[in-house]
Amino acid sequence: MAVDIQSSIGQLPVGEARFVGKSVKRVEDPLLVTGRVEFIDNVVLPGMLHCAILRSPYAHARIRSVDVSEARKLPGVFAVVTGEDAKRWTQPGPASPEGWGAHCLAVDKVRFVGEPVAAVAATSRYVAEDAIELINVDYDPLPPVVDAFKAAQADGPLVFEDKGTNIMYQRVFKWGEVDDAFRDADRVFTEQFRWHRLGANPMETFGVVSQWDPVDGSVTIHGAYQAPTHMAIGRAIVLQLPMNKVRVIGHPHGGSFGGKGGARGTDITALLSRKTGGRPVKWIEDRIEYITGGGSQAWDRHYEVALAVKKDGTVTGLKVKLLDDLGATGEGFGAIGAAKPLASFTGCYAIPVAEYDLTLVATNKLPAGPYRGMGPPPHNFVLEQMMDIAARGLGIDPAEIRRKNFIPPDRFPYTIASGNEYDSGEYEAALNTVLEMSDYSRLRQEQAEARKRGRYLGIGVVSTIEPGVFDWNAYAIVGVPGTGVPEGVTVSIDLFGKILVNVGFPIEGQGQYTLATQILADYFGVELADVRVVMQDTLSAPPNFGPGGSHLGVALTGAILGAADRLRDKLVAVAARLMQTEAQHVELKEGKLRIKGVPGAEMPVAQVAAVMLTRSDLLPPDMEQRPEATYVWTSPGRTPADDQGRAKSYLTAANACHVALVEIDPGTGKVAILKYWIADDCGVRLNPANVEGMIDGGVAQGVGAALLEEYVYNEEGQLLTSTFMDYLLPTIHDVPVTEKKGLVTPSPFTPLGAKGVGEGAIHTTPAAIMCAINDALLPLGVRTTEVPATPQRLWTLMRSAQQPS
Amino acid sequence: MKPPPFEYAAPGTVQEAIALLQQHEGEAKILAGGQSLMPLLNMRLARPGILIDLNKVTDLDYIRETNGALAIGAMTRKRTVEDSALVKSHQPLLHAATVLIAHPQIRNRGTVGGSMAQADPAAEYPAIAVALDAELQAAGPRGSRSIKASDFFVSYLTTALEPNEVLAEVRFPAVPRGTGWSVMEVARRHGDFAMTGVAVTTALDAKGQFSAARIVLFGVGPTPVRARAAEQVLTGQKPSEGLLAQAAQKVNDAIEEPLSDVHASAEYRRHLAQVLTRRALAEALTRTGTGQ
Amino acid sequence: MAAKRQVRLTVNGTQYEASVEPRMTLVDFLRGELGLNGTHVGCEHGVCGACTILLEGRAVRACLMLAVQADGANIMTVEGLAPDGKLHPIQEAFIEEHGLQCGFCTPGFLMSVYELLHDNPNPSEEAILDSLGGNICRCTGYQSIRKSVRLAAEKVRTSSSAPQGG
């Protein structure tokens, strides 16, 4: 049955939408504020045991032997597993690039500090930790490789000996006549940048309870998963089970931001459960485990960038060379973060040609994983820095050089050099909005006066794209297959007229259950309280992905409207028969099925649904007794990637323009963010409060990225920042109150015109703050190119400028 | 991360605590506020045979004033110090330092004695104790003894307390009227341990010249660092920007074994010490009365 | 294993008695032994504040206390805010101002705010920041939390459920 999903709120079968487009209070919140949501650590099953994992203290070593005999004897210990069990019962996990995966417990060698080597299931986590201390591992340490450049060279320690190299991937993409553009440019600006490792750190770490069924050889897994279906696929592969023997039940979880992790922990607990003959085994990852061994790290990058410009400021070409240190294996899918920049490679600018020289290298560090933004935040940082460098070099104001290069509004849909298509945009309108909000010319005056008094005030003006609604083809270049990300839901009406929507994903904070509720309440003309969202596990849910890649708001809307439309068609057919007319004369409006143009000839939705369930005699022939419909939405018009990685991948392109005012204390190098303005255009806002929440959260993570967060490894591959004392998350003191304005340039391609915004301002804030910092440093003639801009780094830089030569 | 197994005792008096320390010599650790020790236990970096919990010893929680001097029981919560009108009026430097410590939830449990006994190089209280010439009362099997703050902090996380002694009280002598004060620090985030900090007290004579100055740095060495050479630059001189800058530069001489970590190198800390000293002296002067 | 010790305490007005190993942390005790799962574990280093509870009315980190130390204590956890299902004004304020997203840090924030409003019914922005500097949120960026606390202060001032001393 073909459906024609509504492209704007005005097309919903309701006069005026009461809920969609409004900041309705979230349906998730009452359970959350009372502490009653079932986070994974609440789960207690009969016979449940607790897992602790013994992890490698070495970054690189051969394992000569693992002696678990003492651990086994400790009272309260019921099972111990090692790499031998992993080798016997599992495959190495899926990885990107393919072939760079490893077993869940180290087999023969360890490749990073924190890599699991053995695990215990015991009566409590306390006892399990006592037990792992009794395991004796005989290591033969090997020299680690920790520097990305050294790793890329031929002579040196190999993380995977059988690969003969540490280079996981190397390729140069040339989109258009790049060399000509650089040869013909009036000026070419170049710079190198360093972005240090950082990562998700949701407040809840990963957790899982796995239970093996020894009779039918299946596994049931409860876990804090961002994307349960995706996880189930990986588990089936690793545990060598058919997918219908893997049941994954996602739990509401305390944030994810891409980096929840959980693959190894799930597989290890499944093995332990198998070894105990089927007792459930729980593992709650502790914070140190998360930081050193979990989904916590991303974007360990060395950039060399070049911008070709005409003297009037028109940018004619962009070259980005990236050396990305992915750590010990590809199991974290950090490679995806190096591919995603293709979706918005040239940002908001009409840069016609570009080049991407990409090298992914393995080192003895934690395998890099996903983190909100999935790669563009550092890419946007370098692009925006280059725009500023060009602006200064040419004597043009940074806001004006951007304006000059924006893709004009009448050129959409616009295909960028790297192949993706932007749906719509009004970049100049956003820029003007934020310049007005910040009173930009007065800010520059303020800055001039402050400079005279020896203060280091800086203003950053940046404009970025936030690609939304991801597709797998965006990652084709690193071997991820397929196009289309299905997101399916089932909508049904019960005997008493209440609405149920079944989804495949648990709550993780973006308010998606509220969005589902809003849409259905308006669609069927009921109250919010009449709609309930219930998650199904991976053996019951239709194909779905869940949150990720700023996809779910749009995809969920599409899936719900698709299902609702199908359900409406059934109700219309039944109502028509009951009102003795043709279906084409009946419409759904304000919660009633009514004959068009005949006032009073109507039936409430609830009544029609009840008839469907109780009066088969009254139904049209071939009509199922089923006021229910399923729809699986996917982005329309996706194309497979060509040999240069070009594809219509991310469906939407939201835009944000930020202005940041900072001050640097020259005595200490500390940066204070004095003021911050945002003009954000993510199309139609289906729940403005939710959208603002995504932006605010992204700003905070952007502040963390720019000023605070960094994982530091020493030459031995030991992580020096392994706790929250040293890995610094922004607190309420660190995040400025921002002034925000929303613009609405709808997407012509999405249901209701919304664009993905779940990854929010992390795409923009690091660039804004770093550009502001460098603007502050201008009088000194120095520039910082390293993120985060710690007080010591800035002080050292400023001092070097002030030393007499 | 879960603590390793340990025995536990919660004595009701100082004497009982001392007896337990003697009984379990070498195996015991004292639990006061727990804000430093519990993370170490959770990470299994501390493995005492027995934990001696002082939280049931009720007679160590007091702030008493005698002729302007304050005696503070070792188990007094930092929050109590923060809220104390006595401390605000008699020891404003102590109050100001207290407010810099971490966050309210930490101060609600953390104790004065615990901080002193922990002797973290980046902590405020040890530096304040040295700046104010505090005296720390240790109770042991052979009775009480008084240890000067300048003798109390021996080296990294090590004090002059004997293994069988309990810190019972910290005494802050009366502060002469008109004494100026300031405490400043540079940390990565509000409430974090200082990368570098300084506590200063200043006094001016009737001619408006420095009659006394105390400069104590923290975060730059294993123990609080008293910058005597810098103090001497000031004594007998009239305050001026140039003089303060000179004194600030001199603090470098006192830093012998600088600390260094991922957040701040030794060089950076030395520089911060100078910047903070100059700023803190300027601030202290605004609070200094003349005519000693 | 060290000998277990008896612990008697009151949590949210209910008396409990249990026998615990000395090394069990208070947060593990509240969750595992008493089934009060609203208090969460975020780090076990005492930094993130997700485990914040009220001990004799004072906000403390339950991961930095041992269960045995709570013998004789009077404790309030997030479950004590809405004992009969009726939301406390502070909870209502957080919902109205969207002061939460994933909700994991929220109970810790609520307990810190409860203490703040008890001490300071009309807190300045600075007082709010000081009180909440030790509670980390990764989702909201704190903007909506600030608004929630201001609204909570107003609601508490104008209602009859001003926080008691716990």
ipTM for the complex?
0.97
Paired with A632 in beta bridges are A488
The whole-number pLDDT of residue C163 equals 59
The whole-number pLDDT of residue B291 equals 53
Spans of all domains in chain A: 9-37+485-633, 41-142+219-283, 375-470+648-788
Q: How far apart are CA A668 and CA B259, in angstroms?
A: 17
3-state secondary structure of A592: strand
Distance set, CA C64 to CA A666, B58, B109, B176, C51 (Å): 38, 20, 9, 39, 9
Q: Residues A421, A414: contact at Cβ < 8 Å?
A: yes
Query: Which residue type occupies A164?
Result: G
Does A306 have pLDDT greater than 70?
yes
Query: Which residue type occupies A591?
Result: G
Residue whose pair of structure tokens reads 């470098």 in the numeric block: B252
User: C116 and C147, same structural domain?
Assistant: yes
Q: Residues B73, B59: contact at Cβ < 8 Å?
A: yes
Q: How far apart are CA A570 and CA A676, in angstroms?
A: 51
The whole-number pLDDT of residue A4 equals 77
User: B240 and B141, same structural domain?
Assistant: no
User: C148 and C104, same structural domain?
Assistant: yes
Alpha helices in A627-764 (DSSP H): 688-703
Interface of B with C in 74-133 (CB under 8 A): 79, 102-106, 108-109
Instruction: Give A177's Cβ-side CA count (13 Å radius).
Output: 5
Angle ∠(C152,C120,C53) on CA atoms, nearest 5: 70
Look at residues C65, C77, C74, C81 and name the one whose alpha carbon lies nearest to residue C16: C74
Tell me: the pLDDT tens digits for A646-688? 999 999 999 999 999 999 999 999 999 999 999 999 999 999 9
- B155 is a domain residue: yes
CATH number at residue B127: 3.30.465.10
Q: Residues A83, A106: contact at Cβ < 8 Å?
A: yes
- B109 is a domain residue: yes
Look at residues A663, A662, A697 and name the one whose alpha carbon lies nearest to residue A680: A697
- C40 is a domain residue: yes
- C164 is a domain residue: no
Look at residues A335, A336, A360, A356 and name the one whose alpha carbon lies nearest to residue A346: A356
Q: Mean pLDDT over residues A308-312, rounded?
A: 97
User: C112 and C70, same structural domain?
Assistant: no
Query: Which residue type occupies A371?
Result: Y
Look at residues A258, A282, A261, A262 and name the one whose alpha carbon lies nearest to residue A272: A282
The whole-number pLDDT of residue A2 equals 58
The nearest CA of chain C is from the CA of A287 a distance in Å of: 5
Q: Mean pLDDT over residues B102-117, rounded?
A: 98
In chain B, the N- to C-terminal Cα span, in Å, equals 56
Does A131 have pLDDT greater than 90?
yes
Q: How far apart are CA B107 and CA B91, in angstroms?
A: 18
Tell me: the pLDDT tens digits for B200-210? 999 999 999 99
The nearest CA of chain C is from the CA of B53 a distance in Å of: 8
Domain tally, chain C = 2
- C134 is a domain residue: yes
Does C107 have pLDDT greater than 70?
yes
User: Concatenated DSSP letters for C131-146?
Assistant: HHTT---SSSTTHHHH
Q: Mean pLDDT over residues C144-157, rounded?
A: 97
Q: How far apart are CA A434 and CA A448, in angstroms?
A: 20
Look at residues A590, A575, A594, A586 and name the one whose alpha carbon lies nearest to residue A525: A590
Please identify, among B15, B34, B52, the residue that sits at the C-terminal boundary of a domain: B52
Q: Mean pLDDT over residues C132-151, rounded?
A: 98
The whole-number pLDDT of residue C161 equals 54
Is the minimum CB–CB distance between A708 and chain C shorter than 8 Å? no
Please identify, among B121, B142, B172, the residue that sits at the C-terminal boundary of a domain: B172
Is the minimum CB–CB distance between C8 and chain B shorter than 8 Å? no
- C165 is a domain residue: no
Interface of C with A in 94-123 (CB under 8 A): 94-96, 98, 100-107, 110
Look at residues B236, B226, B221, B209 and name the one whose alpha carbon lies nearest to residue B270: B221
Q: How far apart are CA C110 and CA C50, in angstroms?
A: 10
The whole-number pLDDT of residue A803 equals 64
CATH number at residue C141: 1.10.150.120
Q: Mean pLDDT over residues A629-646, rounded?
A: 96
Tell me which chains share at least 3 CB pairs under 8 Å with chain B. Answer: A, C
Q: How far apart are CA B201 and CA B205, in angstroms?
A: 14
User: B148 and B47, same structural domain?
Assistant: no
User: B126 and B67, same structural domain?
Assistant: yes
User: C17 and C64, same structural domain?
Assistant: yes
Report residue A10's pLDDT band, with 50, 70 and 90 as the boundaries: confident
Q: How far apart are CA A256 and CA A512, in angstroms?
A: 14
Would you state the structure tokens that stand for residue A674, as one six-digit string? 């004095």
Residue B102: Cβ-neighbour burial (10 angstroms; 0-12, 13-18, 19+): buried
Using DSSP, how many helices (H) and how many strands (E) does chain C show? Answer: 5, 5
Tell me which chains share at least 3 CB pairs under 8 Å with chain C. Answer: A, B
Residues from chain A contacting residue C113 (CB–CB below 8 Å): none
For chain A, what is the largest distance between any 2 Cα atoms, rounded to a whole number of angstroms?
Answer: 96
Binary contact (B108, C60; C-beta < 8 A): yes
Tell me: the pLDDT tens digits for C12-51? 999 999 999 999 999 999 999 999 999 999 999 999 999 9
Would you state the structure tokens that stand for residue A219, as one six-digit string? 């596994």
CB atoms closer than 10 angstroms to residue B192 = 20
Mutate to test the interface with C, among B103, B189, B192, B193 (most CBs of C within 10 A): B103
Element holding A319 (H helix, E strand): strand A315-325
Q: Residues A485, A545: contact at Cβ < 8 Å?
A: yes
- B1 is a domain residue: no
Binary contact (B188, A286; C-beta < 8 A): no
Distance set, CA A466 to CA A32, A372, A738 (Å): 29, 11, 19
Domain tally, chain B = 3
Q: How far apart are CA A346 and CA A331, in angstroms?
A: 29
Query: Which residue type occupies A231?
Result: M
Residue in B3, B265, B275 nearest the CB of A668: B275
Binary contact (A668, B2; C-beta < 8 A): no
Query: Would you say the pTM of this structure is higher than 0.90?
Result: yes
> Matching CATH topology for A9-37+485-633 and A41-142+219-283?
no
Distance set, CA A599 to CA A592, A593, A603 (Å): 12, 12, 11
User: C76 and C14, same structural domain?
Assistant: yes
What value does the mean pLDDT of chain A take? 97
In chain A, the N- to C-terminal Cα span, in Å, equals 77
Q: How far apart are CA A722 and CA A726, in angstroms?
A: 7
Residue B264: Cβ-neighbour burial (10 angstroms; 0-12, 13-18, 19+): buried
CATH code given to domain A9-37+485-633: 3.30.365.10
Query: Which residue type occupies B276?
Result: L
CATH number at residue B212: 3.30.390.50
Query: Which residue type occupies A501?
Result: V
CATH number at residue C11: 3.10.20.30
- C163 is a domain residue: no
Residues from chain B contacting residue A730 (CB–CB below 8 Å): 189
Residues from chain C contacting residue B108 (CB–CB below 8 Å): 55, 58-60
Tell me: the pLDDT tens digits for B83-104? 999 999 999 999 999 999 999 9
The nearest CA of chain B is from the CA of A723 a distance in Å of: 10
- B282 is a domain residue: yes
- For B122: left if phi > 0, alpha if psi spans -120 to 50, otherwise beta; the answer is alpha
Distance set, CA A779 to CA A386, A447, A658, A776 (Å): 18, 11, 23, 7
User: B208 and B118, same structural domain?
Assistant: no
User: B187 and B271, same structural domain?
Assistant: yes
CATH code given to domain A41-142+219-283: 3.90.1170.50
The whole-number pLDDT of residue B292 equals 44
| Entry field: residues in chain A | 805
User: C123 and C72, same structural domain?
Assistant: no
Residue in B3, B55, B190 nearest the CB of C23: B3
The whole-number pLDDT of residue C164 equals 56
CB atoms closer than 10 angstroms to residue A650 = 32
Interface of A with C in 734-793 (CB under 8 A): 735, 737-738
Binary contact (C137, A203; C-beta < 8 A): yes
Q: Are strands A354-361 and A786-787 parallel, antiparallel or unpaired?
A: unpaired
Does B185 have pLDDT greater than 60?
yes
Give residue B128's Cα distance to chain centre.
Answer: 5
Please identify, among B131, B156, B172, the residue that sits at the C-terminal boundary of a domain: B172
Does B189 have pLDDT greater than 70?
yes
Tell me: the pLDDT tens digits for B56-77? 999 999 999 999 999 999 999 9
How much helix, strand and coil, in percent to the nearest 5, is found in chain B? 35, 25, 40
Binary contact (A791, B2; C-beta < 8 A): no
Q: Residue B12 is part of which domain span?
A: 7-52
User: Concatenated DSSP letters for B213-249?
Assistant: EEEEEESSSSS-EE-HHHHHHHTTS---HHHHHHHHH
In chain C, the N- to C-terminal Cα span, in Å, equals 34
Please identify, among C80, C110, C129, the residue that sits at the C-terminal boundary of a domain: C80
Q: How far apart are CA C131 and CA B102, in angstroms?
A: 11
Is the minimum CB–CB distance between A726 and chain C shorter than 8 Å? no
User: C143 and C112, same structural domain?
Assistant: yes
3-class SS string, B181-215: EEEEEECCCCCCCCCEEEEEEEEECCCCCEEEEEE
3-state secondary structure of A766: helix
CA B95, B96, B97, B101 torsion-angle sign: positive
Does A804 have pLDDT greater than 70?
no
Q: Residue C15 is part of which domain span?
A: 5-80
User: C130 and C94, same structural domain?
Assistant: yes
DSSP-derived letter for residue A732 is T
Q: Which residue of C has its CA nearest to B56?
A: C69
CATH number at residue B38: 3.30.43.10
Q: How far apart are CA C51 and CA C41, in angstroms?
A: 6
User: C93 and C71, same structural domain?
Assistant: no
Q: From edge to edge, which strands make up the β-sheet containing A602-604? A: A586-589, A592-595, A602-604
Residue A261: Cβ-neighbour burial (10 angstroms; 0-12, 13-18, 19+): buried
Residue A188: Cβ-neighbour burial (10 angstroms; 0-12, 13-18, 19+): middle
Does C165 have pLDDT greater than 70?
no
- B291 is a domain residue: no
Domain A375-470+648-788 class, CATH top level: alpha beta
The whole-number pLDDT of residue A805 equals 44
User: B44 and B67, same structural domain?
Assistant: no
Tell me: the pLDDT tens digits for B130-151? 999 999 999 999 999 999 999 9
Binary contact (C133, B191; C-beta < 8 A): yes
Residues from chain C contacting residue A37 (CB–CB below 8 Å): 103
User: B77 and B99, same structural domain?
Assistant: yes
The nearest CA of chain C is from the CA of B203 a distance in Å of: 32
What backbone phi and psi angles, to 5 degrees, belong to A559?
-65, -45
Residues from chain B contacting residue A129 (CB–CB below 8 Å): 1-2, 4, 44
Tell me: the pLDDT tens digits for A618-632? 999 999 999 999 999
